[in-house]
Amino acid sequence: MTTKIKQLKRIDLIFNHEDDCKEILKKSFDRTNEEVINEMVNSGLKGRGGAGFPTGLKWKLTAEVKDSPKYVICNADEGEPGTFKDREILTRVPHKVLAGMAMCAKIIGSRQGYIYLRGEYKFLVPQLREELRKFHQIMDELNLDFEVDIFLGSGAYICGEESALFESMEGKRGEPRNKPPFPTECGYLNKPTVINNVETLAHSYTIMKYGAKKFRELGVKDSWGSKVFSVSGDTPIPGIYELELGMSVQDFVDDFGDGDTKAVQVGGASGFLVPRKRFAKSHIGYQGKLTGVSLPTGGSMMIFNSSRSMYNVLDNYLDFFQEESCGQCTPCRVGCQQLLKGIKAVKRGEKPAAYLDKLLKLTDTMRLTAKCGLGQSVANSFSSIVENFREEMIY
Amino acid sequence: MNNQAELVKDLAIEHGVKREELLPILQAVVEKDRYLSADAILKIAEETKIPAADVYGTASFYSFLDIIPRGKYVIRVCKTITCSMKGKNQILLALEDFLKIKLGETTPDKLFTILETNCLGWCHKAPAMLVNDDVYTELTPNKVVDILSSYKQEADAE
């Protein structure tokens, strides 16, 4: 084994085995709600599921709504291709996630929480139930009237979209709702709801324990803190890594690539493909002050080396999307099918290469008119692959 | 199927008849019988007072809520990008070869069904598959044969 010249700093905030939730919660409960919300807002923590909404603001907005009951939901419907970090967090440090939920519940005034767990992770239920039993005991000891249940999904990617998730919990097809209204005022059962990603809740525990200042020692402006990344594909070291936000794709590839990396898919099938020539200028983080392109991500980093055909990669993504589209709105339902049919026709020579431009226009329409993030984001991978690897798409 | 009717009745009592309980009820039927029969759907509609079309509409939306008969062990092979890159098709061929059925089919003894599914979240240990709720990762054609053999033994022992 040769030692690498460059290695990104490994962070150990999420997975370290601190098990002092009761003390941390007690300490936080002694502070005013306003103080804790300010701490959360000042930390700059943004949603780690991928969308990046400021967590403190979400809690604040929901706390301000005068309606009851209110709900706290942990979104564990991790379905983005290439993402598996939430399962790891729920397996190794579920108590931190629950502590985050309890803190949120206290602030917004909620008595009922849920973990929406994807059906693919059903095997986790017994250990989570055991964890919940301990958690409810702590809630009793701290005198907080808050209970958390598990709600299982049944194999539908779209239910990771928050409003589709509510529909699913309400016993309906997982079809996203129009926004506004937003969950902060109209979520599960049309009641005010905070819905946070598993990792976001675990980070809120870190902030409660160490404070916003410590959290901001990591990361860069507008993308503070660390993030858990799921690394897969053509890499000698696939797995789960907590890294600082703001890194360039080049630094990531130097650390995780196999020496022959051709492209990296950042953010899963709904994210962007970064080709080699853009590695240095692309950074991982939320839109903001980063130079070059900043790529938000739920943490999925899929690495492709030069043995891979980008046509096959795109074909696989589109097959995924056309199956997982809920079918509710036409741009997404028909759009995904036509994109898949279209690239196959171009590859077989049944359509001219210029047909790809028509398909790119179709993705523009989908970005504008699809009802939810699924249909809108198909354009991300489609355009970044077709524009950078056009020669691989045509016959 | 009288059995499913009985089961639905028990489930309706256990869960109550609120719409929020529909998915858990559907899941419990599938957990036991591996699919929802038309009779089961009608019975759920009757017990919960939800229109049968809505019950069917909900059930048919979710890929894990099967509405056609499946084997005792439902195999779902992940076909999303990383598993696909790391040999998913070889796994599928090994399964088909061992069970003498094609993708989507159920063995005549009603023991196994082979299906594909989207990302299971084991990309770092690809290729992966589920057998009912159990996860198997870093599969090879040989490993798959061992896994299925143990399920066969389990079924024979019952």
- Interface probe, candidates A90, A232, A318, chain B, greatest B C-beta count within 10 A: A232
User: Residue A5: which pLDDT band, with cuts at 50, 70 and 90?
Assistant: low
Span B65-89, pLDDT tens digits: 999 999 999 999 999 999 999 999 9
- The confidence score (pLDDT) of residue B158 equals 84
**Same domain, yes or no, for B56 and B77?**
no
User: Residue A1: which pLDDT band, with cuts at 50, 70 and 90?
Assistant: very low
The mean per-residue pLDDT over the stretch A173-187 comes to: 96
**Same domain, yes or no, for B87 and B146?**
yes
> Looking at the 3D structure of chain B, how many domains does it have?
2
Residue B21 maps to a domain: yes
**Same domain, yes or no, for B147 and B89?**
yes
Q: Do strands B73-78 and B112-117 pair parallel, antiparallel, or not at all (unpaired)?
A: parallel
User: Residue A113: which pLDDT band, with cuts at 50, 70 and 90?
Assistant: very high
What is the rounded end-to-end Cα distance, in angstroms, of chain B? 22
User: Does the structure show a pLDDT above 70 at A288?
Assistant: no
**CA nearest neighbour of A3 among A244, A255, A257, A239:** A255
**Same domain, yes or no, for B78 and B55?**
no
Residue B122 maps to a domain: yes
d(CA A95, CA B44): 36
Copy the structure tokens of residue A56. 């403190």
Which of A15-24, A375-384, B106-115, B129-138 comes out lowest in average pLDDT? A15-24
Q: Do strands A293-295 and A300-305 pair parallel, antiparallel, or not at all (unpaired)?
A: unpaired
Specify the fold of A21-215: Rossmann fold (3.40.50)
Q: Provide the shortest C-alpha distance from residue A177 to chain B (in Å).
A: 16
**Same domain, yes or no, for B54 and B97?**
no
Partner residue opposite A171 with nearest CB, options B21, B80, B120: B21
d(CA B138, CA A238): 12
What residues 138-157 of chain B have any CB closer than 8 A to a CB of chain A? none
d(CA B97, CA A82): 29
Contact at 8 Å (CB) between A185 and A65?
yes
Q: Which range of residues forms the domain containing residue B150?
A: 73-157
User: B121 contacts in A (CB within 8 Å)?
Assistant: 78-79, 83-84, 87, 118, 120-121
The mean per-residue pLDDT over the stretch A332-339 comes to: 98
**Same domain, yes or no, for B84 and B152?**
yes
**How big is chain B, counted in residues?**
158
**A219-305 classified as CATH 3.40.1180.10:** no
User: Does the structure show a pLDDT above 70 at A4?
Assistant: no
- The confidence score (pLDDT) of residue A188 equals 98
User: Does the structure show a pLDDT above 80 at A283?
Assistant: yes
Q: What is the DSSP string of A239-276?
A: EEEEEETT-BHHHHHHHHS-S-EEEEEESGGGSEEEEG
**Interacting residues of B79 by C-beta distance below 8 A, sequence separation 6+:** A316, A319, B88, B116, B117, B118
Residue B31 maps to a domain: yes
User: Does the structure show a pLDDT above 70 at A245?
Assistant: yes
d(CA A196, CA A100): 10
User: Does the structure show a pLDDT above 60 at B1?
Assistant: no
Which residue in this structure is represented by tokens 């759907």?
B41
Beta-bridge partners for A304: A263
Contact at 8 Å (CB) between A314 and A385?
yes
Q: Do strands A293-295 and A282-284 pair parallel, antiparallel, or not at all (unpaired)?
A: parallel
* Complex confidence, ipTM: 0.96
**Same domain, yes or no, for B41 and B106?**
no
Count of A-B CB contacts under 8 Å:
122
Which residue in this structure is represented by tokens 């729920």?
A90
Span A303-321, pLDDT tens digits: 999 999 999 999 999 999 9
CATH number of residue B117's parent domain: 3.40.30.10
Q: Provide the shortest C-alpha distance from residue B146 to chain A (in Å).
A: 21
- The confidence score (pLDDT) of residue A17 equals 82
Partner residue opposite A171 with nearest CB, options B58, B79, B120: B58
**Same domain, yes or no, for B90 and B144?**
yes
- The confidence score (pLDDT) of residue A292 equals 61
User: Does the structure show a pLDDT above 70 at A204?
Assistant: yes
**Same domain, yes or no, for B41 and B79?**
no
Chain B residue with minimum CA distance to A311: B81
User: B63 contacts in A (CB within 8 Å)?
Assistant: 154-156
Q: Tell me the pTM.
A: 0.96
**CA nearest neighbour of A232 among B93, B103, B78:** B78
- The confidence score (pLDDT) of residue A18 equals 81
Q: Provide the shortest C-alpha distance from residue A294 to chain B (in Å).
A: 24
Q: Which residues of B are annotated as a binding site for [2Fe-2S] cluster?
A: 78, 83, 119, 123
User: Does the structure show a pLDDT above 70 at B43?
Assistant: yes
**Long-range pairs of A166-171 with CB within 8 A, sequence gap ≥ 24:** A166/A193, A168/A116, A168/B23, A169/A73, A169/A114, A169/A116, A169/B20, A169/B23, A170/B19, A170/B20, A171/B18, A171/B19, A171/B20, A171/B21, A171/B22, A171/B23, A171/B50, A171/B58
**Same domain, yes or no, for B50 and B23?**
yes
Partner residue opposite B135 with nearest CB, options A123, A154, A317: A123
**Same domain, yes or no, for B16 and B46?**
yes
- Interface probe, candidates A73, A77, A154, A175, chain B, greatest B C-beta count within 10 A: A154
Q: Provide the shortest C-alpha distance from residue B135 to chain A (in Å).
A: 8
Which residue in this structure is represented by tokens 């938000």?
A296
Task: Give me the residue spans of the domains in chain A.
Answer: 21-215, 219-305, 310-393
User: Across the interface, do B81 and A152 touch by the CB < 8 Å criterion?
Assistant: no
User: Does the structure show a pLDDT above 50 at A290?
Assistant: no
Specify the fold of A310-393: de novo design (two linked rop proteins) (1.20.1440)
Residue B67 maps to a domain: no
User: Across the interface, do A81 and B82 touch by the CB < 8 Å criterion?
Assistant: yes
**Same domain, yes or no, for B120 and B52?**
no
What residues 36-75 of chain B have any CB closer than 8 A to a CB of chain A? 50, 54, 57-58, 61-65
- The confidence score (pLDDT) of residue A234 equals 98
**Residue A214 burial (C-beta neighbours within 10 Å; 0-12, 13-18, 19+):** middle
